[in-house]
Amino acid sequence: MPFQKTANAEVADIISLRNWEQMHGGRSFKSKTASVGRVAANQTKYLLSHCTIMASVAVEDEPFDYLIKPESAAFVNQNDDAWSLAVLQMSYRSFVGAFNFVEHFQNSRASKGHILDAVLRKIRIAEDVLIGYVDILVATDLVHTELVENIRSGKTKYMSMGCLTDLVICSYCGARCTESHTYCQHLLYNKGDFLFDDSGVPRRIAELCGHPSLPNGGVKFVEASWVGTPAFPGASKRSIVLDEWLGPASPYTHVASQPTGIKKAASIESACSPAMLAHLNSRLKQQVSRK
């Protein structure tokens, strides 16, 4: 039974993994729209936002790949969850096609849109300490006018991921836990603390999600929510990529009221790197060409 991880809020309505797969199979956002021949009746207007959703930590080499390098300890999130760069490399693409919710209300009827794309940016924060940031492209259905207005104004600016993980590993003793009742003493009593390892190095106690030995790292990202308070302080909207993008509808979005195909010019802030922009543009062209 996988662990359900969200960054900060109670999950009001949990959809089983099986149901999720049925809904999500083959990346619902793309495959279903690609098979629909009609154009005008199946478009939705979205606000596209580029958000940094999470970061990895750096871990030591095997067999001590459960020990978090102290320089990256700040990238454990506020729920004491962490992901190694290797796991994130194997799993971050599962954001693509995932739902966009508000406050982790994981019910497809409450969907506000979809995640169109995800990229991993690697950053060296110290010698031999490489971490990764995951940026996502979020398409929020314009029919949710209050939410969209709050995103545009900056009143709503934080995001938080939701994922399923097959196991968690104690970042101090390496215990592998697949059920919460099998937690080691560190995960029960010391999360958030630093404890010295046998070499005298301070180690942050956290739940490392997944492991590179598992398919897709054992982690599946299922949604990204707009939230009031993020678990990872860096998870915020970086820029609005397209103010009004006419994109393919999904069963969980709303038909655009005026499917005219008019797209506003991109208002792109400097927060978007040139490489990210080039990537987003090519993805958008692919999406549009599928219609």
Geometric angle at alpha carbon 225, from 159 and 222, rounded to 5°: 120
Q: Which amino acid is at 127?
A: E
Closer residue to Zn ion (CB): 104 or 186 = 186
Nearest to 95 by CA among 56, 150, 135: 135
Nearest to 218 by CA among 267, 163, 270: 163
Closest contact distance (angstroms) between CB of 54 and Zn ion is: 23
Rounded CA separation 148/92 (Å) = 25
Question: Is the bond leading into 202 cis (omega within 30 degrees of zero)?
Answer: no
Chain mean position to CA 269: 21
Closer residue to Zn ion (CB): 182 or 260 = 182
Residue reference for tokens 């320089």: 71
Is the CA virtual torsion 156, 104, 90, 118 positive or negative?
A: negative
Closest contact distance (angstroms) between CB of 82 and Zn ion is: 14
Closest contact distance (angstroms) between CB of 66 and Zn ion is: 9
Closer residue to Zn ion (CB): 185 or 213 = 185
Closer residue to Zn ion (CB): 186 or 211 = 186
Closer residue to Zn ion (CB): 11 or 175 = 175
Burial 101-114 (b: 16+ CB within 10 A, else e): bbbbbbebeebbbb
Closer residue to Zn ion (CB): 11 or 195 = 195
SS3 call for 147: helix
Closest contact distance (angstroms) between CB of 198 and Zn ion is: 14
Closest contact distance (angstroms) between CB of 188 and Zn ion is: 9
Q: What residues make contact with Zn ion under the rule CB under 5 A?
A: 170, 172-173, 175, 184, 186
Closest contact distance (angstroms) between CB of 177 and Zn ion is: 9
